[in-house]
Structure 1
């Protein structure tokens, strides 16, 4: 989804290979797990008929297990491991590169990804969950979904409450069957106020019906969202691009593959436009949390809040992360961790004890 803007922002860094190596070395040192009951393993697992990359990291296997459902589509969270290292002191973090994303895409390229659809990703996610439960000998895992992955996360939370101890959505996407145009109209207002009339004309010509957009229009819309908002653009540079460039877990070739996977995975995005979260269900049998960036222009907090207010769950909570747009949990990993430790972990720890 963001491959074009990432490539453009990363290009000036081509002459900074020495600096990259220093940053990678520092991050690699930070990522070392030396605790006696820790885990640091990664590799390909056969999921849905293809090899898919799964990373499992944490300082203590007695901690609750998080399964992350990354966004994009096609935007693996593995590059953010150094930023979220402190999470691993309190949780065992499972990061899965979906088909079409990251190392999974790099394994066989676009011809080896098989079916690309939300239904296929849902089935894959259930298989990954079962693999993690067996590998770590846990009854349930904590489901944490961000951005595009939160479409999938909500479906998993609804359909398989027996597998998950709670649901946490961040950069929470809420589609209403094409009825909610909050992000579109806010973008139009920003373009108008800043005098970007050429971009506003192009946006207006696209119309509000995202189901009618082609992939080029999707890409252009996402670029406008990023470049029209200073906080979002700053986050893209200082969090996303910086994490990509300095990842000790990826070679330069893999970074190119990462962006190619995002471009390839964009074909799944239009399918999400038909989702109506209210029609799919507002009743959840597991605790339900949304931790959203206060100024998110991609997935507005107002839309997430409207859905949250209609949710029925055993426990639910909503929190805004200040000074954050999209990628809120990654811009402020300390604040997100604090929310996880104060609101979520005590609840699921009590549940684990009672099992």
Structure 2
């Protein structure tokens, strides 16, 4: 989970990542890196009417014959579009579809806060189904690889469970597992971490919150995420070196659009309390499609051990769990080369074989 408060904390804790002049130079370099010149490539960004409002969708890849990967970003409200230069190598092997959900980034900036429609999990879930169907039609494919990270994996599990006919595989990273408040180990671990570090103010804030996230307000969800991330050295270092630099130097975003990203994360926090009541085990551990989780080996925001416990109970035609080493949250963006290796060795051969069998 990434929130506006978390971004603000990382910003305050580190110097601005260069002057505006340096930013323009880095943006230009990133734009050159992101050029797609392959004869069968695709590089399209446009607004599509989804759920009654214009929503931004990007489609990029070096070969239209490659498997299509639809990403569901986290946050809520945290666009993956900022990571374009870091994940450029992925586009050699997959056609990457990135979508700014309602209340996020370019979608929010397009029509403004007052015209985002209903900001609820249910409405955004229906948007995801509509985007999936739109992408299948536009690109002429029967199924797409569903890749969901962080809060996006809350949508991802439900999409994979309910619509296996739309997806060739499910890949969760920074996998968020809800258990209706049964497991308080992450809360206890945070208390211990704060006590050991002598962070008395943060400790008092967490102590005032019930261990059961179902009782929290949207503001408390944001406060918990901020404290959990900034008190963990690996997560906070990743926030500063990966997330903030990707945000500041993104060749796809103007300064005004960066402001919209921060505004969107704050706006989207309102959907968090309802999802705290979810129970992924009760909703079902049977998936009728290949199922993968690639998790940071040290994730404290969406705990690795909880994701592994859920994975162990999953029944699927094919399933695999792998750790991304030296990574907490934001694992696929901290180590995009490790994530790509997992996608190429475990996922791509499977989905390309599916395609061959379907067309034989």
Deviation digits for residues 159-217 of structure 1, max 9, x if unmatched? 10110000000000001011122321111110111122332122111111212222222
1:307 aligned to 2:310?
yes
Which residue is equivalent to 1:247?
250
> Normalising by structure 2, what TM-score?
0.97
Q: Deviations over 1:27-75 (max 9, x none)?
A: 0000000000000000100000000000000000000000000000010
Displacement of 1:99 after TM fit? 0.5
Matched residue, 1:2 = 3
1:62/1:232 Cα in 2 relative to 1: closer, same or farther (>3 Å)?
same
Please say if residues 218 and 271 of structure 2, whose CA atoms lie closer than 8 Å, have aligned partners that are also in contact: no
Q: Quick one: which of 155, 165, 168 aligns to 1:165?
A: 168
Q: In the alignment, is the contact (CA less than 8 A) between 2:5 and 2:223 conserved in 1?
A: no
Q: Does 1:23 align with 2:26?
A: yes
Q: Does 1:229 align with 2:205?
A: no
Deviations 1:196-240 (A, max 9, x none): 233212211111121222222222111111111110000000110
Gaps of 5+ in 1: none
Deviations 1:242-299 (A, max 9, x none): 0000000000010011000000000011111010001111000000000000000100
Q: 1:276 aligned to 248, 270, 279, which one?
A: 279
Residue 52 (structure 2) aligns with: 49
Equivalent residue pairs, number: 355
Residue of structure 2 in register with 1:327 after alignment: 330
2:127 corresponds to which residue?
A: 124
Asked if structure 1 preserves the Cα contact closer than 8 Å seen for 2:3 and 2:269, the reply is no
For 2:327 and 2:302, the matched residues in 1 are separated by: 12
1:107 alignment partner in structure 2: 110
- Displacement of 1:305 after TM fit? 0.4
1:337 CA drift (Å): 0.1
Distance in 1 (alpha carbons) for counterparts of 2:34 and 2:17: 25
The CA RMSD over aligned residues, in Å, is 1.1
- SS state at 1:13 partner: coil
Q: Deviations over 1:83-122 (max 9, x none)?
A: 0000000000000000011101111122111111111111
Given the alignment, which residue of 22, 39, 43 partners 1:40? 43
The separation in 2 between residues aligned to 1:174 and 1:56, in whole angstroms, is 28
Tell whether the 8 Å contact from 1:56 to 1:94 is kept in structure 2 after alignment: yes
Q: Report if aligned partners of 1:182, 1:300 keep a CA contact under 8 Å in 2.
A: no
The 1:14/1:302 distance shift into structure 2, 3 A limit, reads closer
Residue 338 in 1 paired to residue 341 in 2?
yes
Contact kept in structure 2, 1:10 and 1:245, CA below 8 Å? no
Q: Distance in 1 between matches of 2:230 and 2:317?
A: 40
Does structure 2 retain, via aligned residues, the 8 Å contact 1:182–1:303?
Answer: no
| Structure 2: distance between partners of 1:16 and 1:302 | 41
Query: Which residue is 1:96 aligned to?
Result: 99
Cα distance in 2, alignment partners of residues 111 and 286 from structure 1: 38
State the TM-score, normalized to the length of structure 1. 0.98
Distance 2:18 2:167 in 1: 45
On the 8 A contact 1:165/1:348 being kept in 2, the answer is yes
| Rounded Cα–Cα distance in structure 1 between residues aligned with 2:3 and 2:271 | 14
Q: Distance in 1 between matches of 2:125 and 2:324?
A: 28
| Cα distance in structure 2, aligned partners of 1:186 and 1:15 | 35
Take 2:116 and 2:211, find their aligned partners in 1: how far apart are those partners?
Answer: 31
Task: List aligned pairs for 1:177-216, cutoff 5 A.
Answer: 177-216=180-219
> Aligned to 2:16, what secondary structure does the other structure show?
helix
Structure 2 unmatched runs, 5+ = none
